[in-house]
Amino acid sequence: MSDSIKLSITLPVDPKTIYNAWLNSDEHTAFTKSKTTIEKKVGSTFSAGDGYITGKNELLHMNKRIVQTWRTTDFSEDAEDSTLEISFEKVEKGTKIILQHSNLPDDTGKIYRKGWRDHYFKPMKEYFEEKSED
């Protein structure tokens, strides 16, 4: 039985800003503070977290949703890729990001939930709050 997690955060910028930043190597690197190589193209592969994360862009719905295959170097070789779906919803105070991560290896949900909070949500909050003040 695989694990699934769902998390959300609201950031003080519009969906387009976050969507474009997520799919831009330089900005993704800046908001996670770790090397990322990614492009805004369905079927293209990406690498994030200084090579810890790899995957492929499966679906890009401009400014609304990103669906990716996703795995880390911690996945066993025979483990299937997980699926990451990121939705961007315009709300009064900016954008609510809803992250749904499914097909994670058994008993790893808690670890990846903490990873998303520590390595994405926390630095993204700092990065986009500073950006919204510009």
Q: In angstroms, rounded to a whole number, what is the distance separating the alpha carbons of residues 72 and 1?
A: 18
> What pLDDT shows up at residue 97?
98
Segments of the chain assigned E as strands: 3-11, 45-48, 53-61, 65-72, 82-91, 94-104
What's this model's pTM, rounded to 2 decimal places? 0.95
> What pLDDT shows up at residue 1?
61
**Digitized pLDDT (tens) for each residue of the chain, 134 residues in all:** 689 999 999 999 999 999 999 999 999 999 999 999 999 999 999 999 999 999 999 999 999 999 999 999 999 999 999 999 999 999 999 999 999 999 999 999 999 999 999 999 999 999 999 877 76
> Residue 76, exposed/middle/buried by CB under 10 A (0-12, 13-18, 19+)?
exposed
Tell which residue, 106, 70, 63, 107, has the closest CA to residue 85.
70
> What pLDDT shows up at residue 132?
77
List of domains in the chain: 3-133 (3.30.530.20)
